[in-house]
Chain A
Amino acid sequence: MLAQIGITIAQWLVVVLGAPVLAGVIRKTKARLQGRRGAGIFQPYWDLRKLLVKEVVIAENTSWVFRLTPYVAIGTMLLSAFIVPVLTTAAELQFLGNIILLMYVFLLSTFFLALAGLDAGSSFGGMGSSREMAIAALAEPTVMIAIFAIALRAGSTGLNEMINRAASDPLLLLNPGHLLAFLSFFIVALAETGRLPVDNPSTHLELTMIHEAMILEYSGRYLALIEWASFIKLFLFLTLLGNIFFPWGVAVTLQPGAVAIGVFALVIKLGVLALGLAVLETALAKLRLFRVPELLSGSFMLALLAVISFFFLR
């Protein structure tokens, strides 16, 4: 019991406190790849601290929805941090829900952010909201079909079972369905977390930004909460990619040794994925907004192929 509570809190803290540093590592790597020195990997923490001591400026036209949204954004991500198995699949708090719940909790946060984007009455916010919802909606079928592909092999939509089942399969990486599902889920993760080539997280050019346009009116502690929430979302998506598709090292028991290996494995997986993301973001340009649906339908076809391969190879 004590071990359960301990590991649950430990996992949650790893996500919540580790998320900014992951963003920092990606930024640093990107900077080095682009020939810049870049800020230190702990810069996101200093940014958050700076935002927290700043005064909040609120647009006059806004309603309580605008002031509630940052709390919904951080609340949903803090909740998700309990659900995703980060270090071990033996933690029991994942009874809260399966991967479908997780995706809907993410959508809930997007829903409120999009409302807040409309609330200030500026064109930028509305534009961001509209585009964000379009991408979220178009990504949804791929997410579900990729989940279906994984659930078919795992015989479950529970995150723990999915990871345990994948870990017990020695020929995992030779399975075409697994690789196809990974590719499609990877593309969706890029879209959902607002990374290149779908959205550029570091742009502040009005006509190209999506997520940043939507949260343009936020400042001070509200902005800090929203930024933190998006760091956590990125962390969770990369963890899902790492743990579901490359399940080695995730602790199946609460033995201290196993958990230590879990920590080690997590750091390596996230490091590799962060490096991959940085290389990708350096090599790729942002897609035109109306080319994004083509990218997403491509990833949908990959996911569907993963499902078909299961049914025809069984």
Chain B
Amino acid sequence: MLNSAAMLTLLAASLMLFAGGAAGALVFDRESGRCRRMTHGLALCGTVLVLILGIAGLTGNSFELLLPRILPLAGGLALGLDRLSAFFLLTIAVGVIPSTLFAVGYTRQYRQEQALLGFALNVFVPAMMLVVLSRNVLTFLVFWEAMSLASYFLVMTEKDRDETRSAGWLYMVMTHAGLACLLIGFLAMLQATGSFSMPEWARAAEGVDSGVRSLVFLVMAAGFLSKAGAIPFHVWLPRAHPAAPSHVSAMMSGVMIKLGVYGLIRIGFEWLGPGPGWWGVLIMIVGAVSALLGVLYALIDSDLKCLLAYSSVENIGVILLGVGAGLVFRSYNLGSLAALALMAALYHSLNHTVFKGLLFLSAGSVVHVTGTRITEEMGGLLKRMPHTGAFFLIGSLAISAMPPFNGFISEWLTFQSLLLSFRVPEQFINLVFALCIASLALTAGLAAACFVRAFGITFLALPRGQAVEQAHEADWTMRTSMGLLALACLTLGVAPVLALRVLSGAVNEFLGAAPDLSFDWSNIAAASAFGTIAPLWVAVILALLMLAAWVGLRVYGANFSRRYYETWGCGRAVQTADFEYTAAAFANPFKRVFAFLYRPVEETEIEAHSESRFFVKTITYRHESRSIIEDSIYAPIVATVRRLAAKARTVQSGNVHGYLLYILAALLTLLLFAK
């Protein structure tokens, strides 16, 4: 056990390392190589300390810290660590450590932006850490904003591209709209309870009118969900995450959006006190819609990083299903089920950090060597980048919830907690859960299709372009970081016992109820024997059976000679990449089935020879699908804002006398009100 002073020393040491990294970025501005190694190296060391802090917190150590001199207006700087915070510290560290290691090799391509990248990174990571530790309003808001701003600058690394600038702008707008929501909620609670400290709200919440709490919940949930990237607040995510350098995408998708989930868990279960069942139902509906629409958009996207970003929306949806189910169960006093559902959500959140980090990093090394993000231009990369390819395959299997990888365990837990909903004695809720089970199942199936497509089109068959043909393997820092994450995918999948143990401890402390789950090294059983699974044995027996099949063929005396010959192609003369199935073609059945959602626009232009229309010169095919949410929700808002802005322009005449008049009017008004 560590005492509180030792924990604070750890915290201070990690903050100093980050500060050193930030300072180093400014000092070694001119020396790109040294700047790169130093800033990322120090960030890496700082994050290792965060990891230690997280592990210490999960094993039962905690601290409280109040520095009244800093931020004196609002009760000082208040930090604290409990097991839930510690779990998110662990998630942050698990996502950030491989990403910064990867960045050492990967950011070599950014010569000019080295100082900015290093500085912003060394602000971004400690800000995320401190958000999780914040215990009063102003502390929380300051670090929340620092995190948003730092990530904005990281997104803007390739600021010369129009696409990046517009993505950055959209991110800025959405993140501040979210911040405004949080501010409203915080101020309302401040008014109602008279306290800056969130732990005190939890105690005072019973006395606050439930209507007010529900309104605050709605407003703050909108704020947190916009950071988490849940539909309909997701619009920034599939633009900003791909525009950022890949290690930043990994941290934003893997880690930062989880802090939105963190905030939601805090307000739903703790800060706002016990709420009615519809809070949970609402979160579940948002989760089901996010999961389904997220994966459907991922399925048709041909930009590798965009696809991964949409898949983050999907996974946030899966996590929200767990969180929402937990809220519903708690409102019906089913404490152990609430704990189980929350545990599933937290486990999926950790798993998503691992496999999405892995996928973004391996996509990053592909984009790095091929110079394109479009899957239609790739192909055959498994032979040219064998390690990266294998890592991407592991990530794809994990994110598609295939046993024996980690995604399966958390999805299985989520299914178990949703299936146990029959204990809720209310038919409407039962029906909602049934539909959520269906949408989660459809999401899982579509995710598998999506990642068959992502891996198959990118890494298998023949290369579709010159740059792809000459691709080479990534350097050792990049491969090591991916290898670490791939190992984590497997470990968390076959031996989930350690993760489950710390999680059930954390959830137990947070909710005051032990999850209805028993587990040991080999077995997991939900609700005594409602559902059991033995992940370690499944993995071992599967591997043995595959080996046995091979040995069996040998013993039987099967013909083991093999001959390589060209792919069968109905008598065509030569096999080229043009004969391959494309990503667009792969997604076509889904486009047709879900046409009501995609609303595709297709144009085919065929130019024929003048002699005969059967001799085709060129075919141009264009396909576009419109986002139903952007068209129906955001387009009207943007149009209204533009119209109002045009009206407001008349006030800004450019006349100095006019402006002086405004100042006078403002002054008089203020004096009038100030008395």
Residues in B whose Cβ lies below 8 Å from that of A182: none
Measured CA separation A126–B559 after assembly (Å): 28
- The smallest beta-carbon distance between B609 and chain A, in angstroms, is 25
Q: How many A-B residue pairs have CB under 8 A?
A: 267
Q: Is the CB of B545 within 8 A of A144?
A: no
Q: Is the CB of A52 within 8 A of B448?
A: no
Chain A positions 88-138 with a Cβ under 8 Å from a chain B Cβ: 95-98, 100-101, 104-105, 107-108, 110-111, 114-115, 118-127, 129-131, 133-134, 136-138
CB contact between B529 and one of A114, A156, A308 (< 8 Å): that residue: A156
CB contact between B460 and one of A65, A75, A101, A216 (< 8 Å): that residue: A65
Chain B positions 538-591 with a Cβ under 8 Å from a chain A Cβ: 538, 541-543, 545-546, 548-550, 553, 556, 558-570, 575, 577, 579-582, 585-590
Which of A55, A147, A157, A311 neighbours the largest number of chain B CB atoms within 10 Å of its CB? A157
CB contact between B564 and one of A58, A63, A161 (< 8 Å): that residue: A58
Which secondary structure dominates where chain A touches chain B? helix
Is B401 positioned at the interface, with any CB of A under 8 Å from its CB?
yes
Is A169 positioned at the interface, with any CB of B under 8 Å from its CB?
no
Closest B-chain residue to A113, C-beta based? B452
CB contact between A121 and one of B446, B462, B530, B564 (< 8 Å): that residue: B462
Which secondary structure dominates where chain B touches chain A? helix
Is A47 positioned at the interface, with any CB of B under 8 Å from its CB?
no
Q: Could you say which of B98-106, B335-343, B411-419 contacts chain A?
A: B411-419
Closest B-chain residue to A293, C-beta based? B593
Measured CA separation A5–B382 after assembly (Å): 42
Measured CA separation A134–B439 after assembly (Å): 15
Residues in B whose Cβ lies below 8 Å from that of A57: 562-565
Q: Is the CB of B581 within 8 A of A311?
A: no
Q: Is the CB of A107 within 8 A of B549?
A: no
Q: Is the CB of B430 within 8 A of A100?
A: no
Measured CA separation A251–B76 after assembly (Å): 70
Q: Is the CB of A138 within 8 A of B593?
A: yes
CB contact between A144 and one of B441, B556, B585, B587 (< 8 Å): that residue: B441
Residues in B whose Cβ lies below 8 Å from that of A311: 422, 427, 430-431
Q: Is the CB of B437 within 8 A of A148?
A: yes
Chain B positions 449-466 with a Cβ under 8 Å from a chain A Cβ: 449, 452-453, 455-457, 459-462
Is B533 positioned at the interface, with any CB of A under 8 Å from its CB?
yes
Measured CA separation A134–B550 after assembly (Å): 31
Is A24 positioned at the interface, with any CB of B under 8 Å from its CB?
no
Measured CA separation A225–B431 after assembly (Å): 42
CB contact under 8 A between A119 and B412, given known A55-B562, A101-B538, A129-B581: no
CB contact under 8 A between A61 and B567, given known A75-B542, A79-B538, A290-B593: yes
Residues in A whose Cβ lies below 8 Å from that of B461: 61, 118-121
Is A189 positioned at the interface, with any CB of B under 8 Å from its CB?
no
- The smallest beta-carbon distance between B388 and chain A, in angstroms, is 13
Is B400 positioned at the interface, with any CB of A under 8 Å from its CB?
yes
Chain B positions 392-436 with a Cβ under 8 Å from a chain A Cβ: 393, 397, 400-403, 408, 412, 415-416, 419, 422, 427, 430-431, 434
Residues in A whose Cβ lies below 8 Å from that of B567: 59-61, 120-122, 217
Closest B-chain residue to A300, C-beta based? B438
Is B331 positioned at the interface, with any CB of A under 8 Å from its CB?
no
Measured CA separation A152–B418 after assembly (Å): 12
Is B625 positioned at the interface, with any CB of A under 8 Å from its CB?
no
- The smallest beta-carbon distance between B667 and chain A, in angstroms, is 64
CB contact between A97 and one of B538, B549, B558 (< 8 Å): that residue: B538
Residues in B whose Cβ lies below 8 Å from that of A176: none
Fill in one digit per residue for B357-396: 1 if any A CB lies within 8 Å of its CB, else 0: 0000000000000000000000110110000000001000
Is A151 positioned at the interface, with any CB of B under 8 Å from its CB?
yes
Is B512 positioned at the interface, with any CB of A under 8 Å from its CB?
no
Closest B-chain residue to A130, C-beta based? B586
Is A72 positioned at the interface, with any CB of B under 8 Å from its CB?
yes
CB contact between A60 and one of B430, B523, B566, B589 (< 8 Å): that residue: B566
Q: How many residues of B contact A (CB 8 A)?
A: 86
Measured CA separation A61–B562 after assembly (Å): 14
CB contact under 8 A between A148 and B434, given known A95-B523, A97-B534, A111-B448: yes
Measured CA separation A277–B437 after assembly (Å): 29
Which of B442, B545, B589 neighbours the largest number of chain A CB atoms within 10 Å of its CB? B589
CB contact under 8 A between A155 and B530, given known A79-B538, A311-B431: yes
Is A141 positioned at the interface, with any CB of B under 8 Å from its CB?
yes
Is A71 positioned at the interface, with any CB of B under 8 Å from its CB?
yes
CB contact between A156 and one of B383, B531, B564 (< 8 Å): that residue: B531
Q: Is the CB of A148 within 8 A of B549?
A: no
Q: Is the CB of B427 within 8 A of A65?
A: no
CB contact between B579 and one of A52, A54, A123 (< 8 Å): that residue: A123
Is B445 positioned at the interface, with any CB of A under 8 Å from its CB?
yes
Q: Is the CB of B538 within 8 A of A63?
A: no
Range for the number of chain A residues in contact with chain B: 35 or more
Measured CA separation A302–B530 after assembly (Å): 24
CB contact between A129 and one of B382, B452, B577 (< 8 Å): that residue: B452
Residues in A whose Cβ lies below 8 Å from that of B589: 130-131, 134, 289-290
Q: Is the CB of B532 within 8 A of A97?
A: yes
Is A53 positioned at the interface, with any CB of B under 8 Å from its CB?
yes
Is B537 positioned at the interface, with any CB of A under 8 Å from its CB?
yes
Is B108 positioned at the interface, with any CB of A under 8 Å from its CB?
no
- The smallest beta-carbon distance between A205 and chain B, in angstroms, is 12
Is A281 positioned at the interface, with any CB of B under 8 Å from its CB?
no
Q: Is the CB of A138 within 8 A of B442?
A: yes
Residues in B whose Cβ lies below 8 Å from that of A122: 567-569, 575, 579-581
Measured CA separation A111–B408 after assembly (Å): 14
CB contact between A111 and one of B397, B438, B538, B575 (< 8 Å): that residue: B397
Chain A positions 58-92 with a Cβ under 8 Å from a chain B Cβ: 58-65, 71-72, 74-76, 78-79, 82
- The smallest beta-carbon distance between B89 and chain A, in angstroms, is 31
Measured CA separation A300–B445 after assembly (Å): 14
Residues in A whose Cβ lies below 8 Å from that of B533: 96-98, 100-101
Fill in one digit per residue for A276-291: 1 if any B CB lies within 8 Å of its CB, else 0: 0000000000000110
Is B444 positioned at the interface, with any CB of A under 8 Å from its CB?
yes
Is A56 positioned at the interface, with any CB of B under 8 Å from its CB?
yes
Is B592 positioned at the interface, with any CB of A under 8 Å from its CB?
yes
Chain A positions 12-45 with a Cβ under 8 Å from a chain B Cβ: none
Residues in B whose Cβ lies below 8 Å from that of A76: 542
Q: Is the CB of A144 within 8 A of B537?
A: no
CB contact between A104 and one of B401, B437, B577, B588 (< 8 Å): that residue: B401
CB contact under 8 A between A100 and B581, given known A54-B559, A74-B546: no
Measured CA separation A144–B562 after assembly (Å): 41
Measured CA separation A110–B397 after assembly (Å): 12
Fill in one digit per residue for A151-170: 1 if any B CB lies within 8 Å of its CB, else 0: 11001111001000000000
Q: Is the CB of B434 within 8 A of A206?
A: no
Which of A62, A63, A82 neighbours the largest number of chain B CB atoms within 10 Å of its CB? A63
Is A220 positioned at the interface, with any CB of B under 8 Å from its CB?
yes
**Which A residues form the contact surface with B (CB < 8 A)?**
52-65, 71-72, 74-76, 78-79, 82, 95-98, 100-101, 104-105, 107-108, 110-111, 114-115, 118-127, 129-131, 133-134, 136-141, 143-145, 147-148, 151-152, 155-158, 161, 206, 216-217, 220-221, 224-225, 289-290, 293, 300, 304, 307-308, 310-312
**Which B residues form the contact surface with A (CB < 8 A)?**
379-380, 382-383, 393, 397, 400-403, 408, 412, 415-416, 419, 422, 427, 430-431, 434, 437-442, 444-446, 448-449, 452-453, 455-457, 459-462, 523, 529-534, 537-538, 541-543, 545-546, 548-550, 553, 556, 558-570, 575, 577, 579-582, 585-590, 592-593
Extra A-B contacts (8), CB below 8 Å, given A98-B531, A100-B412: A52-B553, A71-B546, A118-B586, A122-B579, A130-B453, A137-B446, A140-B441, A217-B568
CB<8 Å pairs between A and B, sample of 18 = A53-B558, A58-B562, A60-B567, A61-B575, A96-B537, A97-B532, A120-B567, A126-B456, A129-B586, A134-B449, A141-B442, A141-B445, A148-B437, A158-B532, A220-B562, A304-B434, A310-B422, A311-B431
**For the complex of A and B, 8 pairs with smallest distance between CB atoms:** A126-B581, A137-B445, A140-B445, A121-B461, A118-B456, A75-B546, A144-B441, A133-B449
